[in-house]
Amino acid sequence: METERITLSQRERDRLKVLHEVQLKHLSQVAAAERLKVTDRQVRRMLLRIREHGDGALVHGLRGRPSNRKLAARLEQKVLARVGQRYADFGPTLAAEHLAKDGFALSRETLRTWMTKAAFWHPRCQRVKKIHVWRERRASFGELVMQDSSPLRWLENRGPACQLIAGTVHRARHHRREPANVWRMGTALRTSLGPLHR
């Protein structure tokens, strides 16, 4: 014989336990009513339902059924199609405001649920957090030199083309940067690039 599986909430399990004690005559109906915070008449009605339909009679009759106030699936498809066409990068609140102008009056929470289900929107707790890798400080001064150059025509057409070269040295164990020795950097650049051709 195959056993039937019944999904019960914690409250329904507590009720069932008390009602089984009443059936075994360990507890009176009045005491069970006080424990469950219902009337003794309600206890008798629950016992009658358990006798007729088994333990599953305690499960609420509307469980698993869609709400009577649920919006039509066709409306959900229309709204999500409009969101995909025009408002895919909007948040639910702003999208709901724009959809109201388009003739779709929805609450932002309904739209948030639909957009999350359709992957147009990710709640903050489900977003992938950016990982910033911590760089260890350098052991000695001058170990990290940052350079940047700008190949613009700084003198416009009034002189030769030149580049602006900037460099900073990141000091170890200090929170400030100092300008690098320009002459030393220039010498290093000349030796690495070789002679400059004009």
In angstroms, the CA 58 to CA 104 distance is 40
Q: Identify whether 2 is part of a domain.
A: no
Strand positions, DSSP E, the chain: 144-150, 164-170, 177-179
Q: Would the pTM of this model clear 0.85, i.e. be above it?
A: no
Q: What pLDDT score does 198 carry? A: 44
**Number of residues assigned to the chain:** 198
Q: Cα dist. 115→78, 79, 81, 94 in Å?
A: 12, 10, 11, 12
Q: Identify whether 52 is part of a domain.
A: yes
In this structure, are residues 60 and 48 in contact, taking their beta carbons and an 8 Å threshold? no
Taking the chain (198 residues) in runs of 10, the rounded mean pLDDT of each run is 75 90 93 93 93 86 83 92 91 93 92 91 78 71 70 76 73 52 56 49
120 and 162 co-located in one domain: no
Q: How many domains does the chain have?
A: 3
Q: Identify whether 1 is part of a domain.
A: no
46 and 77 co-located in one domain: no
Convert the pLDDT of each residue in 100-158 to its tens digit.
999 999 999 999 999 999 988 888 777 777 777 777 766 666 566 677 777 777 777 77
Give the range of the structural domain holding residue 187, as residue numbers without chain letter: 144-193
54 and 81 co-located in one domain: no
Q: Identify whether 171 is part of a domain.
A: yes
Q: Identify whether 67 is part of a domain.
A: no
118 and 151 co-located in one domain: no
Q: Give the H or E element holding residue 191.
A: helix 182-193
In angstroms, the CA 22 to CA 135 distance is 68
In this structure, are residues 113 and 129 in contact, taking their beta carbons and an 8 Å threshold? no
Q: Identify whether 20 is part of a domain.
A: yes
Q: What pLDDT score does 128 carry? A: 75
